[in-house]
Amino acid sequence: MSTEKIENTSPNASKSERENALRLKELFRHSPIGGELLDEASLYQNRQHLMRQLFFDGLYQQIINVHGVVMEFGCKWGKNLALFTALRGIYEPYNHNRKLLGFDTFDGLRGVSSEDPRALEGSYATSKGYEEHLRSVLDCLEQECPLAHIKKHEIIPGDVRETLPAYLKQNPHTIIALAYFDMDIYEPTKVALEAVLPHLTRGSILGFDECNWDAFPGPTRALDEVIGKGKYRIQRSPLQPIPGYLVID
């Protein structure tokens, strides 16, 4: 059985639902719109795309009055970082201190263990050198927002078990308003979670893309070991069946 998550479809999607999702992708790939496709991209955005965007919008609105940066662990192609860039420009256009940091190996999962029975080392890799393309895209998106001369994003490639402690050592002042974990597996999630804890404040949000999910149980195990499932209320959104989050109070 494949360990790949089905993008923008429920893990319980029927055969016909999966086939329809593939058909929509093919329609997008062969769109007759041509040069205006970027302006009309929402034509091909299905319900699942929109629900996920609204989910992150809900998380972001909860940190507007919380100081600190946004960190995403497992950013892959960077669509959430692009969304966060837009949300910052909408809700707090002059908050140049709201830095967005994306951590990813860009060459797939690292650190798969016995806690991750369905994960494969190296899965979810991007194309070679993709992080440079992502930086360029985020640069362009930031130019569409106020204070564009101040760079407010950073892409940090490599194994988060090494890169996150190094970043926090170099930036001990860091306060984290939102940390979103989407690495799918136990050990990197646990290491990252332990590293961010001293940098949280009241109101900080910890989000987990895989929560209470038997397909990828590792992140929930890490959450239980580092924080404990009973210490905070683990919340969910009606827009997403699997992700969970907690608010530090």
* pLDDT reading at 198 higher than 70: yes
Q: What is the mean pLDDT of residues 84-100?
A: 98
What are the pLDDT digits (tens) for 108-160?
999 999 999 999 999 999 999 999 999 999 999 999 999 999 999 999 999 99
Q: What percent of the chain has pLDDT over 70?
A: 96
In this prediction, residues 1-12 reach a mean pLDDT of 52
The rounded mean pLDDT for the chain is 95
Distance CA 123, CA 201 (A): 34
Tell me what pLDDT residue 1 has: 35
Give the pLDDT confidence score for residue 12 in this predicted structure: 77
Q: What is the pLDDT of residue 13?
A: 83
Q: Picking from 8-17, 114-123, 144-153, 188-197, which range would have the lowest pLDDT averaged per residue?
A: 8-17
pLDDT at 6: 46
Residues listed for the chain: 249
Q: What is the pLDDT of residue 106?
A: 98
Q: What is the mean pLDDT of residues 65-71?
A: 98
- Render 187-208 in DSSP notation, one character per residue: HHHHHHHHHHGGGEEEEEEEEE
- Nearest of 143, 161, 162 to residue 153 by alpha carbon: 143
pLDDT in tens, 211-228: 999 999 999 999 999 999
Q: Are 137 and 84 in contact (CB under 8 A)?
A: no
Mean pLDDT of 174-190: 98
Give strand pairing partners of 174. Answer: none
Tell me the average pLDDT across 34-53: 95
Q: What is the pLDDT confidence band of residue 5, given thresholds at 50, 70 and 90?
A: very low
For residue 249, pLDDT over 60 is answered with: yes
